[in-house]
């Protein structure tokens, strides 16, 4: 088999860390991205109150469920953001003269197609480098790109966000794309830490395209995260099936229920697993357990909602200068373009 050469977008000092996983897919040498670290799970489950980091949701089944959620009539985020990108892709690409588009948490990259189409139309070439912990999502993106955009280079990075973006060569003009209001999953301490590290990793000719969900009627928000088909409930509770598989624990989804609510003080949707009855949860690999009491909640995911102007001002402190702001007719969602200020 021909050994694939390392993509030029990888920074020289990072190249020794990456290896060819499959055709067009690269992964960190020695990284076990499909194994969730025990410490990451246990330290948050023993916190007060108990919670989990959102990335634990995206095993194979979780990724598939989220794709189905994106098609739900109640879940306005995906179709609204997609309509903005479809309408404004030409303006965005013209304003960001780059060689490479890097998408963080790319999934199946369905919305990014609008940007890739304009990159090819305006510049006749380019590189697409999605970053994701889901290998299946990267493979689907790769196959779609080869079919629909054969003139674009594809380099999928099988990694977490920071492992991926810190490996991109700062000399390559890059548009980083962070869609789906995924920043809403960061709590109030995680968001500034993330953008501090992200800004430091950006080069002088780099841009950021950021999707952010906006504040709106609470009924609309809560319905989007508690759909009539129960897919969001399956998605949230599936994380415990994933944890059982990894840690040999005994979470029982029959003994828990899903609850979502809007926290007006923190301006965020909160998604919980709630114990329907008291039961003991064991982790035999580390010889520990806890008593999950009836009605006690575990916070599995948050989705913060933003004032777009305040968010733009906040990111100025991370040397990200607002370039443009795109929204829908109802002003439900914002797509924000920033330039790295050196």
Tokens representing 216?
């709106």
Q: What DSSP assignment string belongs to 12-43?
A: GGGGGGEEEEETTEEEETT--TTS--HHHHHH
Q: What is the pLDDT of residue 252?
A: 97
CA distance 147 to 214: 35
Q: In what order do the strands lie in the sheet with 268-275?
A: 256-263, 268-275, 297-304
* SS3 at position 79: helix
Q: Give the SS3 label for residue 206.
A: coil
The dihedrals phi and psi of 126, each to the nearest 5 degrees, come to 160, 175
- The first and second tokens of residue 144, run together, are 């779609």
Return d(Cα 332, Cα 33) in angstroms, integer: 34
- How high is the pLDDT of residue 58? 85
Instruction: Judge if the upstream peptide bond of residue 217 is cis by omega within 30 degrees of 0.
Output: no
For the CA atoms of 178, 182, 184, 185, the dihedral, rounded to the nearest 10 degrees, stands at -130
Residue 106 has a pLDDT of 67
pLDDT reported for residue 4: 63
Strands 127-132 and 100-104 come out as parallel
Place of tokens 């301490």: 189
The answer to whether 60 and 246 have CB atoms below 8 angstroms apart is no
Per-residue pLDDT of the chain (342 residues; tens, 9 = 90+): 445 677 889 999 999 899 887 788 999 875 555 445 678 899 999 999 999 999 889 888 998 899 899 999 999 999 999 999 999 999 999 999 999 999 998 666 788 999 999 999 999 999 999 998 878 888 888 999 999 999 999 999 988 889 999 999 999 999 999 999 999 999 999 999 999 999 999 999 999 999 999 999 999 999 999 999 999 999 999 999 999 999 999 999 999 999 999 999 999 999 999 999 999 999 998 899 999 999 999 999 999 999 999 999 999 999 999 999 999 999 999 999 999 997
SS3 sequence, 81-101? HHHHHHHHHHHHHHHCCCCEE
Question: Exposed, middle or buried: residue 11 (CB in 10 Å: 0-12, 13-18, 19+)?
Answer: middle
Domains of the chain: 38-68+218-304 (no CATH), 75-215+305-340 (3.40.50.150)
Q: What pLDDT sits at residue 36? A: 52
What's the CA gap between 4 and 117, in Å, rounded? 26
How buried is residue 310: exposed, middle or buried, by Cβ count under 10 Å (0-12/13-18/19+)?
Answer: exposed
R_g of the chain, CA atoms, integer Å: 20
- How high is the pLDDT of residue 108? 66
CB 218 within 8 Å of CB 341: no
Determine the pLDDT at residue 342: 79
What does the alpha-carbon distance between residue 122 and residue 292 come to, in Å, rounded to a whole number? 56
The structure tokens 């953001």 sit at 81
């Amino acid at each position: 088999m021909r050994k694939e050469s390392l993509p030029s977008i990888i920074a020289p000092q990072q190249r020794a860390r990456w290896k060819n996983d499959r055709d067009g897919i690269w992964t960190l040498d020695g990284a076990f991205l499909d194994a969730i670290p025990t410490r990451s799970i246990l330290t948050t489950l023993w916190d007060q109150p108990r919670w989990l980091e959102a990335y634990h949701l995206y095993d194979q089944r979780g990724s598939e469920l989220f794709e189905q959620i994106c098609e739900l009539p109640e879940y306005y985020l995906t179709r609204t953001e997609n309509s903005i990108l479809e309408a404004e892709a030409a303006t965005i690409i013209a304003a960001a003269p780059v060689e490479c588009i890097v998408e963080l948490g790319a999934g199946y990259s369905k919305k990014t197609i609008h940007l890739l189409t304009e990159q090819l139309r305006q510049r006749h070439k380019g590189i697409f480098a999605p970053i994701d912990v889901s290998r299946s999502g990267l493979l689907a993106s790769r196959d779609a790109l080869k079919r629909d955009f054969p003139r674009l280079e594809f380099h999928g990075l099988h990694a977490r966000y920071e492992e991926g973006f810190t490996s991109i060569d700062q000399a390559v003009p890059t548009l980083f794309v962070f869609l789906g209001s995924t920043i809403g999953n960061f709590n109030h301490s995680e968001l500034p830490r993330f953008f501090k590290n992200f800004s430091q990793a950006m080069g002088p000719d780099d841009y950021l395209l950021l999707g952010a969900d906006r504040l709106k009627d609470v009924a609309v928000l809560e319905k989007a995260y508690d759909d009539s088909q129960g897919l969001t409930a399956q998605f949230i509770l599936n994380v415990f099936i994933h944890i059982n598989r990894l840690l040999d624990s005994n979470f029982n989804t029959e003994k828990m229920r899903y609850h979502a609510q809007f926290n007006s003080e923190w301006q965020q949707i909160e998604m919980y697993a709630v114990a329907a009855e008291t039961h003991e949860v064991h982790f035999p690999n580390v010889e520990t357990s806890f008593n999950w009491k009836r009605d006690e909640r575990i916070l599995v995911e948050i989705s913060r909602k933003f004032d777009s102007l305040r968010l733009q001002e906040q990111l100025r402190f991370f040397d990200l200068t607002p370039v443009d702001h795109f929204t829908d007719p109802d002003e439900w969602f914002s797509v924000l373009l920033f330039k790295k200020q050196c």
